[in-house]
Chain A
Amino acid sequence: DISDAGLKYHLELVLEDILDNDSTVNCTAEVLYHSGNKNLAPDVQFTIHGELKNTDDADNIFYNRIKSLEKELVAENIPDSHGNVAPEMEPIRLLAWAASGYVIWQNSNENTDFQLAQIKHVKQVKRNDEYLEFDYMILLHDMASQEIIPWQMTVLWHPQHGVQVTQDSRQPKHELE
């Protein structure tokens, strides 16, 4: 579909649960890439045809575990060079995955194809309220240009209130590496 405002795509896709290959749900979406202001994130409208799994139990376990840590959580290189992710870091990784989805959406156009390549560093930020806050430094891989782009993002999460990226900024590549 082509309209005056830009290029619109109609998509039919299948969502698959990473943690359970047999759990899938159909989804339809419309994506509009703006032709005018190229810095505008694409418009996305979607409909999920089915139910997403309830994750309350796992969410609460993770939430309580982090809340009860004496020292703020700090970790690096998730996955590591060999693709390993420590089991207790898996939720941290899934959270980064969800949050980077937002960052990717906000920075995508028809010439980009981003994936989360690695979490270089993550640091928990203690808060007085009920939210969990994590400061991430991630690496995004853009398949189109093959570039690896460091990106900082501040992520808020709560079992009932979901994921929020409150701050994010592209970081300079270290040319001397």
Chain B
Amino acid sequence: LQLDFWLAPRGLGYPVDVRVPFPSLQPLKAHLEANGISYSIMIEDVQALVDHEKMEMFRSTRSQLPLSTSTFDYSSYHSLDEIYAFMDVLVAENPNLVSKLEIGRTTENRPIYVLKFSKGGTNRPAIWIDTGIHSREWVTQATGVWLAKKIVQDHENDGDLASILDKLDIFLEIVTNPDGFAFTQTQNRMWRKTRSKHSSSLCVGVDPNRNWDAGFGGSGASGNPCSETYHGPYANSEPEVKAIVDFVKNHGNIKAFISIHSYSQLLLYPYGYTRTPVPDQKELHEISEKAVAALSSLYGTNYKYGSIITTIYQASGGTIDWTYNQGIKYSFTFELRDTGRYGFLLPASQIVPTAQETWLALKVIMTHTRDHPY
């Protein structure tokens, strides 16, 4: 009958709420009446309600698009449109430093944008940073926006950053999962995955951090399309992932790759899919120690660090396992604030402090990359 329980049966005398697909209405009514079970109709047409709500939400979220990055509010969460508009304004204000690249399109045909920060040269060695690959981790996209502004603001007056940009380019993908992000704004704040449909399953979405070609499909990911860690039908099935894979391969000169998540307050390096330590384990561990110390120095925020599999859990098909195996030695993942008190629903007042402390850790990684060319 494909009954969708909204309030599950829990015992005698307690009500049960159920959404009934149209074709099952008659059979269910007949069954209830035959068994003397009374019922009442709470909502005649769920679809009509949903459509109406969508329309209302669209109307009420008509917000001001940013006119300048100086008046942009970095201490609040923004919509996808606002972030995309911010990018264009940032580029317009700093055309000699920043450019916007479209690296692909999502399942729902949204453009996927990467900002490039460069002081010149041709195909310089580069640092890659991405935020928002898991759409519900809102502090990460917000941190990405702040980072973009910070790089522009400090690229001349901060000695470390200036010398980094003398040698390296920085690529920043702020909304790595635009479909998922839009979904968290309109339908389900806790949505993590992409919005693709691959199987005949009712369930939507693939975990973009299990879809990479590194131990793909192994332990630490799920083959169930309804799972939050569903790896997808095959590696790079997700256009959001494929776009980055293609970019990294075509660029050929990325030297550090940092993928930003929340929450848990961790700095992680590969591997997640196997217990075998990476050959560069010692160096990555030392960098992590320094980066975490720098982060903590600002507000005392405590981070743990280590390889993915020993610090958080086994995870296969992960981003930085793939990038490391591509030869990008300095591959790291951050899990930003907090440790569970607010979790994914981190108050906006913590966006800027989180971004500020994370920036200090990023500078440690970038400085090390600059000083250790390979």
Contact = CB atoms under 8 A, between A and B. Distances in A.
Contacts of A28: none
B347 A175 contact: no
B223 interface: no
A57 to B, nearest CB: 24
B77 interface: yes
A79 B347 contact: yes
Interface stretch (A47-55, A64-72, A81-89, A156-164): A81-89
B39 interface: no
B105 to A, nearest CB: 24
B77 to A, nearest CB: 5
A167 interface: yes
Interface of B: 4-8, 10-11, 76-77, 138, 184-185, 187-192, 202-203, 207, 226-229, 264, 313, 340-350
Contacts of A81: 77, 138, 184-185, 189, 345
A83 B136 CA distance: 12
Nearest to A148: B190
Interface of A: 18, 79-84, 115, 117-118, 139, 141, 143-148, 152, 167, 169-177
Contacts of B8: 152, 169-172
A173 B190 CA distance: 12
A173 B191 CA distance: 12
A115 B344 CA distance: 11
Contacts of A171: 5, 7-8
A83 B192 contact: no
15 contacts: A81-B77, A82-B76, A82-B348, A83-B342, A83-B346, A84-B347, A145-B227, A145-B229, A146-B192, A148-B190, A152-B10, A167-B11, A172-B8, A174-B4, A174-B6
Nearest to B341: A18
Nearest to B210: A146
Given A118-B345, A177-B191, 10 more contacts: A81-B185, A82-B347, A83-B342, A83-B350, A117-B190, A145-B227, A145-B229, A146-B228, A152-B7, A174-B6
B188 A141 contact: no
Sorted from nearest, which 4 A-B pairs have the closest CB atoms? A83-B347, A115-B340, A146-B228, A169-B10
Given A118-B345, A139-B190, A82 B228 contact: no
B343 A141 contact: yes
A58 B56 CA distance: 39
Nearest to A174: B4
Contacts of B264: 143
Contacts of A177: 187-188, 191
A146 B343 CA distance: 12
A141 B228 CA distance: 11
A54 to B, nearest CB: 23
A3 to B, nearest CB: 26
Q: Which of B4, B76, B190, B226 has the most CB of A within 10 A?
A: B190
A172 B19 CA distance: 12
A74 B6 CA distance: 18
Contacts of B346: 83
Contacts of A170: 8
Nearest to A78: B345
Contacts of A139: 190
Given A147-B228, A169-B10, A79 B345 contact: yes
Contacts of B77: 81-82
Nearest to A150: B8
Given A82-B77, A169-B10, A177-B187, A117 B345 contact: yes
A115 B202 contact: no
A176 B4 contact: yes
A141 B4 contact: no
Nearest to B222: A145
A170 B7 CA distance: 10
Contact of B348 (A83, A117, A167): A83
A80 B313 CA distance: 29
A118 B341 CA distance: 10
B185 to A, nearest CB: 8
Contacts of A175: 4, 202-203, 226
A130 to B, nearest CB: 24
A59 B76 CA distance: 33
B56 to A, nearest CB: 16
A13 B134 CA distance: 32
